[in-house]
Amino acid sequence: MPELPEVETVRRGLTLAMEGVVIQRAEVNRPDLRWPFPDRMADRLAGQRIDSLRRRSKYILGDLSSGETLLIHLGMSGRMTVSGDPLGHFVHEHPMPEKHDHVVFHMANGARVTFNDPRRFGAMDLFPTATAEEHKLLSVLGPEPLGNDFHEQHLIDAFKDKNSPVKSALLDQGIVAGLGNIYVCEALYRSGVSPRRKAGQISASRVAALVPVIRQVLQEAIDAGGSSLRDFRQADGELGYFQHSFDVYGREGELCRTAGCGSIIKRIIQSGRSSFYCAKCQR
Protein backbone atom coordinates (compact mmCIF):
# COMPACT_ATOMS: atom_id res chain seq x y z
CA MET A 1 0.00 0.00 0.00
CA PRO A 2 1.36 3.47 -0.82
CA GLU A 3 2.65 5.22 2.28
CA LEU A 4 2.89 8.92 3.09
CA PRO A 5 5.75 9.76 0.66
CA GLU A 6 3.99 8.05 -2.25
CA VAL A 7 0.66 9.75 -1.52
CA GLU A 8 2.38 13.13 -1.12
CA THR A 9 4.20 12.60 -4.41
CA VAL A 10 0.90 11.86 -6.18
CA ARG A 11 -0.76 14.88 -4.56
CA ARG A 12 1.99 17.19 -5.78
CA GLY A 13 1.69 15.81 -9.28
CA LEU A 14 -2.08 16.21 -9.31
CA THR A 15 -1.86 19.78 -8.01
CA LEU A 16 -0.35 20.95 -11.30
CA ALA A 17 -3.38 19.76 -13.26
CA MET A 18 -6.23 20.01 -10.72
CA GLU A 19 -5.80 22.71 -8.08
CA GLY A 20 -7.71 25.87 -8.98
CA VAL A 21 -9.28 24.10 -11.97
CA VAL A 22 -12.93 23.20 -12.59
CA ILE A 23 -13.97 19.57 -12.98
CA GLN A 24 -15.82 19.83 -16.27
CA ARG A 25 -17.14 16.29 -16.08
CA ALA A 26 -16.58 13.19 -13.94
CA GLU A 27 -17.05 9.62 -15.14
CA VAL A 28 -17.87 7.06 -12.47
CA ASN A 29 -17.68 3.67 -14.17
CA ARG A 30 -18.79 1.36 -11.36
CA PRO A 31 -20.92 1.64 -8.21
CA ASP A 32 -18.15 1.02 -5.70
CA LEU A 33 -14.54 0.34 -4.85
CA ARG A 34 -13.72 -0.67 -1.29
CA TRP A 35 -17.15 0.68 -0.37
CA PRO A 36 -19.96 2.28 -2.43
CA PHE A 37 -19.31 5.65 -4.02
CA PRO A 38 -21.30 8.58 -2.58
CA ASP A 39 -24.76 9.19 -4.00
CA ARG A 40 -24.71 11.15 -7.27
CA MET A 41 -20.94 11.55 -7.05
CA ALA A 42 -20.50 12.43 -10.73
CA ASP A 43 -23.21 15.13 -10.56
CA ARG A 44 -21.83 16.59 -7.32
CA LEU A 45 -18.34 16.89 -8.83
CA ALA A 46 -19.32 18.30 -12.22
CA GLY A 47 -18.76 22.05 -12.51
CA GLN A 48 -16.94 22.35 -9.20
CA ARG A 49 -13.54 24.02 -8.84
CA ILE A 50 -10.90 22.28 -6.74
CA ASP A 51 -9.86 25.13 -4.46
CA SER A 52 -7.10 23.17 -2.73
CA LEU A 53 -5.59 19.72 -2.93
CA ARG A 54 -4.09 18.58 0.36
CA ARG A 55 -3.03 15.40 2.12
CA ARG A 56 -3.99 13.97 5.52
CA SER A 57 -2.11 10.80 6.39
CA LYS A 58 -2.50 8.52 3.35
CA TYR A 59 -5.58 10.34 2.02
CA ILE A 60 -5.72 13.00 -0.70
CA LEU A 61 -8.34 15.66 0.03
CA GLY A 62 -9.75 17.97 -2.62
CA ASP A 63 -11.69 20.94 -1.19
CA LEU A 64 -14.37 21.93 -3.71
CA SER A 65 -16.07 25.25 -4.44
CA SER A 66 -19.37 23.56 -3.51
CA GLY A 67 -18.27 23.37 0.14
CA GLU A 68 -17.65 19.62 -0.06
CA THR A 69 -14.38 17.72 0.15
CA LEU A 70 -13.46 14.79 -2.06
CA LEU A 71 -11.48 12.12 -0.22
CA ILE A 72 -9.31 9.76 -2.26
CA HIS A 73 -7.52 6.68 -0.95
CA LEU A 74 -5.28 4.77 -3.34
CA GLY A 75 -5.63 1.43 -1.56
CA MET A 76 -3.25 -1.38 -2.53
CA SER A 77 -3.02 -0.83 -6.26
CA GLY A 78 -4.72 2.48 -7.04
CA ARG A 79 -3.01 4.89 -9.44
CA MET A 80 -3.96 8.42 -10.46
CA THR A 81 -2.40 9.50 -13.73
CA VAL A 82 -2.63 12.74 -15.68
CA SER A 83 -2.72 13.09 -19.45
CA GLY A 84 -3.21 15.92 -21.91
CA ASP A 85 -2.23 18.82 -19.62
CA PRO A 86 -2.06 21.92 -21.87
CA LEU A 87 0.41 23.67 -19.54
CA GLY A 88 3.11 21.26 -20.62
CA HIS A 89 3.72 19.56 -17.27
CA PHE A 90 2.42 16.24 -18.61
CA VAL A 91 3.41 15.23 -22.12
CA HIS A 92 1.25 12.12 -22.37
CA GLU A 93 -1.61 12.07 -24.85
CA HIS A 94 -4.95 10.82 -23.57
CA PRO A 95 -4.65 7.02 -23.52
CA MET A 96 -7.31 4.57 -24.56
CA PRO A 97 -9.59 3.61 -21.65
CA GLU A 98 -8.45 0.60 -19.64
CA LYS A 99 -10.49 -2.06 -17.87
CA HIS A 100 -9.82 -0.75 -14.38
CA ASP A 101 -10.30 2.98 -15.06
CA HIS A 102 -13.00 3.40 -12.40
CA VAL A 103 -13.18 7.19 -12.10
CA VAL A 104 -12.08 9.76 -14.70
CA PHE A 105 -11.93 13.50 -14.08
CA HIS A 106 -12.17 15.68 -17.20
CA MET A 107 -10.68 19.03 -16.20
CA ALA A 108 -11.57 22.37 -17.78
CA ASN A 109 -7.92 22.98 -18.69
CA GLY A 110 -7.89 19.93 -20.97
CA ALA A 111 -6.23 17.57 -18.51
CA ARG A 112 -7.67 14.15 -17.81
CA VAL A 113 -7.04 12.52 -14.44
CA THR A 114 -7.73 8.78 -14.28
CA PHE A 115 -8.11 6.65 -11.17
CA ASN A 116 -7.17 3.07 -12.08
CA ASP A 117 -7.38 0.34 -9.43
CA PRO A 118 -7.18 -3.34 -10.45
CA ARG A 119 -7.71 -4.71 -6.93
CA ARG A 120 -10.41 -2.16 -5.99
CA PHE A 121 -9.11 -1.58 -2.45
CA GLY A 122 -9.11 2.17 -3.05
CA ALA A 123 -11.93 4.47 -1.98
CA MET A 124 -13.56 7.86 -2.55
CA ASP A 125 -15.98 9.85 -0.46
CA LEU A 126 -17.66 13.28 -0.42
CA PHE A 127 -18.53 15.19 2.74
CA PRO A 128 -18.85 18.79 4.00
CA THR A 129 -15.49 20.54 4.16
CA ALA A 130 -16.47 22.34 7.37
CA THR A 131 -16.71 19.04 9.26
CA ALA A 132 -13.95 17.16 7.45
CA GLU A 133 -11.94 16.48 10.59
CA GLU A 134 -14.98 14.70 12.05
CA HIS A 135 -15.06 12.16 9.21
CA LYS A 136 -14.73 8.60 10.52
CA LEU A 137 -11.46 8.05 8.64
CA LEU A 138 -9.85 11.33 9.67
CA SER A 139 -11.03 11.82 13.25
CA VAL A 140 -8.95 8.90 14.55
CA LEU A 141 -5.65 10.09 13.11
CA GLY A 142 -2.69 11.32 15.10
CA PRO A 143 -0.45 14.24 14.09
CA GLU A 144 1.30 14.48 10.73
CA PRO A 145 4.94 13.38 11.10
CA LEU A 146 6.14 16.38 9.08
CA GLY A 147 3.93 18.83 11.01
CA ASN A 148 4.54 20.86 14.15
CA ASP A 149 2.26 18.68 16.31
CA PHE A 150 4.60 15.71 15.91
CA HIS A 151 7.40 16.47 18.35
CA GLU A 152 9.59 14.75 20.90
CA GLN A 153 7.25 15.16 23.87
CA HIS A 154 4.27 13.85 21.90
CA LEU A 155 6.09 10.61 21.09
CA ILE A 156 7.47 10.24 24.62
CA ASP A 157 3.97 10.60 26.06
CA ALA A 158 2.48 8.21 23.48
CA PHE A 159 5.07 5.52 24.25
CA LYS A 160 4.84 5.80 28.02
CA ASP A 161 3.85 2.45 29.59
CA LYS A 162 3.08 1.04 26.11
CA ASN A 163 3.71 -2.71 26.05
CA SER A 164 3.60 -3.24 22.28
CA PRO A 165 6.78 -3.39 20.16
CA VAL A 166 8.03 -0.01 18.94
CA LYS A 167 7.42 -1.13 15.35
CA SER A 168 3.71 -1.65 16.08
CA ALA A 169 3.49 1.60 18.03
CA LEU A 170 4.85 3.63 15.12
CA LEU A 171 2.38 1.96 12.75
CA ASP A 172 -0.50 3.02 15.02
CA GLN A 173 -2.16 5.79 13.01
CA GLY A 174 -3.53 7.29 16.22
CA ILE A 175 0.03 7.96 17.41
CA VAL A 176 1.41 9.32 14.15
CA ALA A 177 -0.45 9.50 10.84
CA GLY A 178 0.81 8.16 7.54
CA LEU A 179 3.73 5.98 8.61
CA GLY A 180 3.82 2.54 7.05
CA ASN A 181 5.96 -0.57 7.14
CA ILE A 182 8.73 0.57 4.80
CA TYR A 183 9.59 3.86 6.44
CA VAL A 184 9.25 2.59 10.01
CA CYS A 185 11.80 -0.14 9.24
CA GLU A 186 14.16 2.42 7.74
CA ALA A 187 13.73 4.93 10.60
CA LEU A 188 14.32 2.30 13.27
CA TYR A 189 17.51 1.19 11.53
CA ARG A 190 18.86 4.72 11.33
CA SER A 191 17.97 5.26 14.99
CA GLY A 192 19.63 2.02 16.11
CA VAL A 193 16.40 0.80 17.73
CA SER A 194 15.35 -2.84 17.39
CA PRO A 195 11.79 -3.37 16.14
CA ARG A 196 11.47 -5.96 18.93
CA ARG A 197 11.90 -3.41 21.72
CA LYS A 198 8.81 -2.61 23.78
CA ALA A 199 7.87 1.02 23.15
CA GLY A 200 7.41 1.74 26.85
CA GLN A 201 10.86 0.40 27.71
CA ILE A 202 12.81 2.73 25.44
CA SER A 203 14.43 5.68 27.21
CA ALA A 204 12.91 9.10 26.67
CA SER A 205 16.08 10.34 25.00
CA ARG A 206 16.03 7.52 22.44
CA VAL A 207 12.32 8.04 21.77
CA ALA A 208 12.93 11.76 21.26
CA ALA A 209 15.75 10.96 18.83
CA LEU A 210 13.30 9.02 16.64
CA VAL A 211 11.39 12.17 15.69
CA PRO A 212 14.02 13.91 13.52
CA VAL A 213 15.02 10.59 11.96
CA ILE A 214 11.43 9.84 10.94
CA ARG A 215 11.17 13.30 9.42
CA GLN A 216 14.45 12.85 7.55
CA VAL A 217 13.51 9.45 6.10
CA LEU A 218 10.12 10.69 4.93
CA GLN A 219 11.54 13.85 3.38
CA GLU A 220 14.24 11.92 1.52
CA ALA A 221 11.58 9.54 0.18
CA ILE A 222 9.38 12.43 -0.97
CA ASP A 223 12.36 14.06 -2.69
CA ALA A 224 12.98 10.75 -4.48
CA GLY A 225 9.39 10.52 -5.67
CA GLY A 226 8.49 7.73 -3.26
CA SER A 227 9.30 4.03 -3.47
CA SER A 228 8.06 2.08 -6.48
CA LEU A 229 7.15 -1.40 -5.32
CA ARG A 230 4.68 -3.32 -7.48
CA ASP A 231 2.00 -0.86 -8.57
CA PHE A 232 3.11 2.61 -7.47
CA ARG A 233 3.70 5.31 -10.07
CA GLN A 234 3.71 9.07 -9.84
CA ALA A 235 0.92 11.16 -11.38
CA ASP A 236 2.97 11.62 -14.56
CA GLY A 237 3.41 7.86 -14.89
CA GLU A 238 7.05 7.85 -13.76
CA LEU A 239 8.44 5.56 -11.07
CA GLY A 240 9.81 6.73 -7.74
CA TYR A 241 13.32 5.59 -6.83
CA PHE A 242 13.74 5.70 -3.03
CA GLN A 243 13.67 1.89 -3.04
CA HIS A 244 17.27 2.04 -4.26
CA SER A 245 18.19 3.71 -0.95
CA PHE A 246 16.68 1.11 1.38
CA ASP A 247 19.09 0.18 4.17
CA VAL A 248 17.07 -2.75 5.53
CA TYR A 249 13.62 -3.05 3.93
CA GLY A 250 13.51 -6.02 1.55
CA ARG A 251 17.21 -6.82 2.17
CA GLU A 252 16.86 -10.05 4.18
CA GLY A 253 20.07 -12.08 4.00
CA GLU A 254 22.18 -9.20 2.69
CA LEU A 255 25.04 -7.50 4.51
CA CYS A 256 24.29 -4.58 6.81
CA ARG A 257 25.41 -1.31 5.23
CA THR A 258 26.89 0.09 8.44
CA ALA A 259 30.64 0.28 7.98
CA GLY A 260 32.42 -2.48 9.90
CA CYS A 261 29.23 -4.23 11.02
CA GLY A 262 29.45 -7.41 8.95
CA SER A 263 26.05 -8.73 10.13
CA ILE A 264 23.24 -9.98 7.94
CA ILE A 265 19.88 -8.23 7.68
CA LYS A 266 17.15 -10.32 9.33
CA ARG A 267 13.41 -10.50 8.79
CA ILE A 268 10.78 -11.28 11.41
CA ILE A 269 6.99 -11.15 11.31
CA GLN A 270 5.25 -8.70 13.63
CA SER A 271 1.46 -8.37 13.58
CA GLY A 272 1.40 -10.04 10.19
CA ARG A 273 3.99 -7.70 8.64
CA SER A 274 7.65 -8.18 7.82
CA SER A 275 10.19 -6.27 9.89
CA PHE A 276 13.72 -5.97 8.51
CA TYR A 277 16.58 -5.06 10.83
CA CYS A 278 20.21 -5.58 11.84
CA ALA A 279 20.41 -7.35 15.19
CA LYS A 280 23.91 -5.96 15.81
CA CYS A 281 23.23 -2.30 14.99
CA GLN A 282 19.71 -2.14 16.42
CA ARG A 283 19.28 -2.73 20.14
pTM: 0.90
Of 4, 149, 135, nearest in space to 70 by CA: 135
Catalytic hit among 3, 6, 68, 186: 3
* Dist CA 178 CA 194 (whole Å): 21
**Claim to verify: residue 71 and residue 165 sit in the same structural domain:** no
Farthest CA pair distance, the chain: 62
- Residue 57 forms part of a structural domain: yes
Note if 86 is an active site residue. no
- Residue 283 forms part of a structural domain: no
At 42-90, the pLDDT tens digits run 999 999 999 999 999 999 999 999 999 999 999 988 889 888 865 555 5
**Claim to verify: residue 88 and residue 197 sit in the same structural domain:** no
**Claim to verify: residue 70 and residue 175 sit in the same structural domain:** no
CATH number at residue 190: 1.10.8.50
Note if 3 is an active site residue. yes
The continuous run of DSSP H or E covering 207 comes out as helix 204-223
Helix (H, G, I), strand (E, B) or coil at 236: coil
**Claim to verify: residue 17 and residue 112 sit in the same structural domain:** yes
Cβ contacts of 20 within 8 Å, gap of 6 or more: 49, 50, 51
What pLDDT, on the 0 to 100 scale, is given for residue 85? Answer: 62
- Residue 244 forms part of a structural domain: yes
- Residue 145 forms part of a structural domain: no
Instruction: Give the sign of the dihedral formed by CA 166, CA 168, CA 173, CA 175.
Output: negative
Catalytic hit among 2, 143, 145, 195: 2
**Claim to verify: residue 203 and residue 121 sit in the same structural domain:** no
The continuous run of DSSP H or E covering 70 comes out as strand 68-73
**Claim to verify: residue 105 and residue 212 sit in the same structural domain:** no
**Claim to verify: residue 85 and residue 189 sit in the same structural domain:** no
Residues of the chain scoring pLDDT < 50? 228-230, 232-234, 239-242
Note if 2 is an active site residue. yes
Host domain of residue 257: 152-277
CATH number at residue 106: 3.20.190.10
CA 100 to centroid of chain Cα atoms: 21
* Dist CA 165 CA 279 (whole Å): 15
**Claim to verify: residue 118 and residue 223 sit in the same structural domain:** no
Catalytic hit among 55, 58, 79, 233: 58
- Residue 265 forms part of a structural domain: yes
